[in-house]
């Protein structure tokens, strides 16, 4: 009984964290169009260094701006990458039945050759 409660609570916690992550991504505009995603990335690049500096000051760490690595520059279209991924998956799914038949025939030939 303890194990069932423990597993179900872990499931609920993980589901809650995943839901919160999706909500934050949606709220920040990451799930919108490519321009909304680019604006959210620009906003994050502007906000992140001051936030890191604030936390290091709060924790008492001596960190100078020169020691922090520069924020990465992303120069790609999020919508193009998404579309390419969708096309790749759909292409793989469309040839899956044919490939499965081909592999089955080859497997049967192999087994028949072993039996002989």
Residue-range domain boundaries for the chain: 82-115
The distance from CA 108 to its chain's CA centroid, rounded to whole angstroms, is 39
By C-alpha distance, which of 77, 72, 70, 71 is closest to 38? 77
By C-alpha distance, which of 46, 40, 43 is closest to 78? 40
- State the Cα–Cα distance between residues 56 and 77, nearest whole angstrom: 33
Interior angle at CA 106, CA 102 and CA 112, nearest 5: 145
- pLDDT tens over the chain, length 116 residues: 565 666 777 778 888 888 888 887 777 777 777 777 777 777 777 777 777 777 777 777 665 555 666 777 767 777 778 888 889 999 988 988 888 899 999 999 999 998 87
**pTM for the whole structure:** 0.33
């Amino acid at each position: 009984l303890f194990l069932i409660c423990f597993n179900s609570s872990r499931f609920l916690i993980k589901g809650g964290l995943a839901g919160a992550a999706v909500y934050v991504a949606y709220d920040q505009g990451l799930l919108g169009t490519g321009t909304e995603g680019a604006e959210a990335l620009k906003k994050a690049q502007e906000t992140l260094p001051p936030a890191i500096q604030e936390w290091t000051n709060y924790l008492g760490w001596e960190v100078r701006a020169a020691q922090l690595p520069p924020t990465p520059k992303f120069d790609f279209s999020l919508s193009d990458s998404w579309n390419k991924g969708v096309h790749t998956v759909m292409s793989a799914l469309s040839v899956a039945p044919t490939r499965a038949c081909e592999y089955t025939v080859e497997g049967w030939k192999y087994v028949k050759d072993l039996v002989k």
